[in-house]
């Protein structure tokens, strides 16, 4: 949050929370919102949730903070093909394990799955090992998503 907005909140805010806290809290609030959601939220969705608690945080700040968080690797930004970027915690929502995505390009349904098939785990392990060696790169995470038609859409 820009310093100007911080000042406008009045002395009492500074007294209880401190401006420094308020500036970083934009990040914390967004991480909190994402950790409590089991859906893939757009910037607008996040804004709506943040807004009820922190009416001073504008949509521009949300966009900017989301960019910072994704460049820090704390969140992932997805394009599921519906024209809106969506976000989720890099580690997955609280209590939800690392997952992969199946994305229906017709109805935009997103299936989060954690029940990986054996071939997938095997392939990923091999690939990560090989890439680490070849590029001398320590791999800490990955994003896997497959596009196609869900069972409903495939029937039509």
* 107 near Zn ion (CB under 5 A): yes
Q: How many C-beta atoms surround the C-beta of residue 72 within 10 A?
A: 10
* 150 near Zn ion (CB under 5 A): yes
* 153 near Zn ion (CB under 5 A): yes
Of 19-27, 42-50, 125-133, 146-154: span binding Zn ion (CB under 5 A): 146-154
Of 8-16, 23-31, 51-59, 144-152: span binding Zn ion (CB under 5 A): 144-152
Q: Compute how many residues bind Zn ion; rule: CB under 5 A.
A: 7
Least CB distance from residue 110 to Zn ion, whole Å?
6
Least CB distance from residue 81 to Zn ion, whole Å?
11
Residue 149 and residue 101: Cα distance in Å, rounded?
A: 13
Site for Zn ion, rule CB under 5 A: 104, 106-107, 109, 112, 150, 153
């Amino acid at each position: 949050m820009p310093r100007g907005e911080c000042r406008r909140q009045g002395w009492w805010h500074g007294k209880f929370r401190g401006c420094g806290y308020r500036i970083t809290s934009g990040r914390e609030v967004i991480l909190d919102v994402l950790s409590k959601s089991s859906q893939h939220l757009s910037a607008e969705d996040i804004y709506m949730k943040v807004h009820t608690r922190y009416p001073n945080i504008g949509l521009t700040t949300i966009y900017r903070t989301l960019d910072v968080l994704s460049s820090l690797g704390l969140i992932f930004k997805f394009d599921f093909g519906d024209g809106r970027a969506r976000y989720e915690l890099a580690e997955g929502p609280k209590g939800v394990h690392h997952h992969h995505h199946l994305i229906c390009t017709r109805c935009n349904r997103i299936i989060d799955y954690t029940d990986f098939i054996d071939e997938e785990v095997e392939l990923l392990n091999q690939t990560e090992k090989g890439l680490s060696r070849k590029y001398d790169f320590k791999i800490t995470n990955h994003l896997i998503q497959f596009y196609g038609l869900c069972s409903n859409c495939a029937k039509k």
